[in-house]
Structure 1
Amino acid sequence: MDAVLVLNADLGPLHRVPIKHAIRMLLRQVAEIHEAEPDRLIGVFPMPKVLRLVRYVVTRWRYTNGPAWSKSGVLRRDDRRCGYCLGVATTVDHIVPRARGGRNTWQNTISACYSCNQRKADLTLAEAGMQLLLQPSVPTWLGTMQR
């Protein structure tokens, strides 16, 4: 187990934290165990799977915008599959090339394998004779909690 889900006091998902951070939250008494693995202990605490905060944290900002764009976020969104050939993706490609005004946005980037990224280069999809097999989407905070 590499991360523990943290729930708000109203049981809404907030984020995931490493196990060390989860134990610190328990020691500071800002959270309590909501769900734990049976028969596994860390000191006096059962191994937590889910923590619930003791007090409600206002998260209005979380619902106004999705997660910020990042290369690792694009790869995670596309499950590391190439948007052109469905192979293993290691890079991120701009659908509208940056040289032609394309920007780093969720809608303009797709995961790509090295060979597809090189083949497309600074061309549009039509110029390169390629088509998208995956459609780019803007992830939501709820989608990031489910991973």
Structure 2
Amino acid sequence: MTTVLVLNASYERLHYVSLPHAVRMLVRQVAVVEEAADGRPLGPWPRPKVVRLLRYVAMRWRYRSGPSWSRRALLARDQHVCAYCGGRASTVDHVMPRSRGGGDTWLNTVAACARCNHRKRDRTPSEAGMPLRVRPYAPGWEQVLGS
């Protein structure tokens, strides 16, 4: 399914929504198409790639806490670079394996290529002899939404 970027009325990035959700926003006339994608139009609108809200939305939720963890946001934080070898990353690795109580948190996960992730398995980086090239950290909203 295609995702569509939603901009605030002030052109700030808000979040991504599914294509059907974006079409519903257009039907309700709460957004307009800012950038169209190639393909067949959807009724009277071109296929949206980016939509902009017509009214400004106060983003208090964004300033209360940082973004929640997700696979997509983690790969964006690490810029799809493997934390072990520096190659192209497509998987998520848990520094402290889930089998040992490690969870899906910003400080316990890094992006990894499939080869390094398979090699490390359910061991810590020191046990596997694979030191981390970067230190995990909790990103800000700008970094997560920049993808």
Q: Does residue 1:144 correspond to 2:147, yes or no?
A: no
Over aligned residue pairs, what C-alpha RMSD do you find? 3.3
Aligned residue in 2 for 1:68: 68
Q: 1:35 to 1:89 in 2, by over 3 A?
A: closer
Equivalence for 1:14: 14
Higher alpha-carbon deviation: 125-134 or 26-35: 125-134
User: Scaled by the length of structure 1, what TM-score is found?
Assistant: 0.71
Q: Aligned equivalents of 2:103 and 2:92: distance in 1?
A: 12
| 5+ residue gaps, structure 1 | none
- Segments of structure 2 that go 5 or more residues without pairing to the other structure are none
Which stretch shifts more, 111-120 or 13-22? 111-120
Q: Secondary structure at the match of 1:126?
A: helix
CA contact 2:93–2:117 (8 Å) conserved in 1:
yes
CA distance in 2, matches of 1:92, 1:7: 28
Divergent runs of 4+, >6 A: none
2:53 corresponds to: 53
Tell me which residue corresponds to 1:36.
Answer: 36
Deviations 1:51-86 (A, max 9, x none): 221222221111332221234543454355432234
76-85 or 131-140, which deviates more: 76-85
Distance change in 2, residues 1:50/1:116 (3 Å): closer
More strand per residue: 1 or 2?
A: 1
- State the secondary structure of the residue aligned to 1:42: coil
Q: Which residue of 2 is the match for residue 84 of structure 1?
A: 84
Q: What amino acid does structure 2 have at the position aligned with 1:23?
A: V
- State TM-score, norm by structure 2: 0.71
Query: Residues of 2 paired with 1:143 and 1:38: CA distance?
Result: 27
